Structure 1
Amino acid sequence: MKLVKIAFIRHSVTEWNEEGRIQGHFNSPLTEHGRELAAGWKNKLEPQTFDAVLTSDLGRTIETANIITEGLELPTIHLEGLREQDWGEWSGLTMDELHEKFPGKLDEEVAKGWDFTPSNGENRTECAARGLKALEAGVSEILKSVDKDEIKILAVAHEGVIKSVIYKLLDHDFMPEERKLLKRRRLHWLNWDGELSIERLNDEL
């Protein structure tokens, strides 16, 4: 059985990140600062050591991956299943706008843990399921074209789907009182040897 190592990271900083807007399935380009950050991640990631790239089909993950792998001709697959959690009617809003438009709703949903569901959006269980399915599908596709005993994949996705996938693999809860496992802007390593597992979390970028 081949071993696949997956470097799982979030896209870099976007215009909506800086404005504090919920992105969900909406798109927002990287800022100049975001592009500089992504370029700076090359030293840690050593992109020349990767064999392929997986991203969501949203522009901010694709742009981040393109910056990191600039000058390299790596097989790249864009997967809808790696999109951010769908925040439905909350997408595009700032937190202040969300509280004004849907008073009390955010706190109510946060208290539901895995069942957290933005209005007309998807819950975290659904997000985790499609994220895991997308990673498995991406790995299967790459295995068809990369003939090596150990394969390294760069996977660029979104905070919500990364957290949901990792929490599901670790059987960790989303309840507010539970310890948060992931730090911001960190590198997480997954392994695949027939099934996905966690190697380690929160390497500095």
Structure 2
Amino acid sequence: MTRIILIRHGQTQWNERERFRGRADLDLTDLGVRQSHITAEAVAKWPVSALYSSPLPRAMHTAQILAHRLQVPVQPLPGIIDVDYGQWQGLSVAEVAARYSELFEVWRTKPHLVTFPGGEGVEAVRLRAKAAMEEVAQQHLNQTIALVSHVVVCRLLVLSVLGLDSSYFWRVEQNLCAINIFEVRDGYFVAALLNDTCHLKRAGLEG
């Protein structure tokens, strides 16, 4: 059976401050590092044969911690890089709400219709991330593969696996260092585990 383990990266300072992160070069906080180590221990119970990551520092650092525990190298996968927020990148939620009030309301209510000013559209992110996941699944038939990515990408991949359109974006939670598992059965992905953070709860490290 082909299995995908999809993991969101650990905490950064901009997660704490609720800023739009996007393509910013952010590393993990001390808490994010601890979260990643605990997540690596949780993932180690599966026979991971390949590990891919968004090339952004916060995801790569998380993946490198997993790689050390799993004894597999990290391979960058551009298709699962975070959304390009364009002019929103680095702004707080309050700042975006004030400066881009109309588009922010669309983002809150109809996220599938949003293209960020100077950045990407939500549907474009979904298409590239889905294509990247499907490609690595084809390259590793009957293996277990781990992917480390970001909240927007993780939400959109979950919706894709569930057969739901992107208007359901806000109905899906993806916490820091959450684990999702998709299994290929009869030629399509099945969601076997979603947004699992039990490993973090036991360690008192939810962020």
For the superposition of Structure 1 and Structure 2, which TM-score range results when normalised by the shorter chain? 0.7 to 0.9
Which of 77, 96, 99 lines up with 1:98 in the alignment? 96
Which of 77, 80, 84 lines up with 2:78 in the alignment? 80
Residue pairs, 1:152-171, within 5 angstroms: 152-171=144-163
The percentage of counterpart residues that share the same residue type is 24
State TM-score, norm by structure 1.
Answer: 0.84
User: Are 2:180 and 1:182 aligned?
Assistant: no
Once the 2 structures are TM-superposed, how far is the Cα of residue 196 of structure 1 from its aligned partner? 3.4
User: What is the letter of the counterpart of residue 109 of structure 1?
Assistant: W
State TM-score, norm by structure 2.
Answer: 0.83
Once the 2 structures are TM-superposed, how far is the Cα of residue 124 of structure 1 from its aligned partner? 2.0
Alignment check: 8 A CA contact 1:85 1:160 kept? yes
Once the 2 structures are TM-superposed, how far is the Cα of residue 72 of structure 1 from its aligned partner? 4.5
Which of 31, 34, 37 lines up with 1:36 in the alignment? 34
Unaligned 5+ runs, structure 2: 200-207
CA distance in 2, matches of 1:105, 1:94: 15
Aligned residues: 196
User: What is the letter of the counterpart of residue 154 of structure 2?
Assistant: I
Once the 2 structures are TM-superposed, how far is the Cα of residue 180 of structure 1 from its aligned partner? 1.7
User: What is the letter of the counterpart of residue 57 of structure 2?
Assistant: G
CA distance in 2, matches of 1:181, 1:102: 24
Q: Could you say which structure has the higher helix fraction? A: 2
What's the RMSD between the two structures over aligned residues? 2.3
Q: Corresponding residue for 1:146?
A: none
Which of 48, 51, 65 lines up with 1:50 in the alignment? 48
Unaligned 5+ runs, structure 1: 144-149
CA distance in 2, matches of 1:14, 1:171: 31
Once the 2 structures are TM-superposed, how far is the Cα of residue 57 of structure 1 from its aligned partner? 1.2
Alignment check: 8 A CA contact 2:106 2:113 kept? no
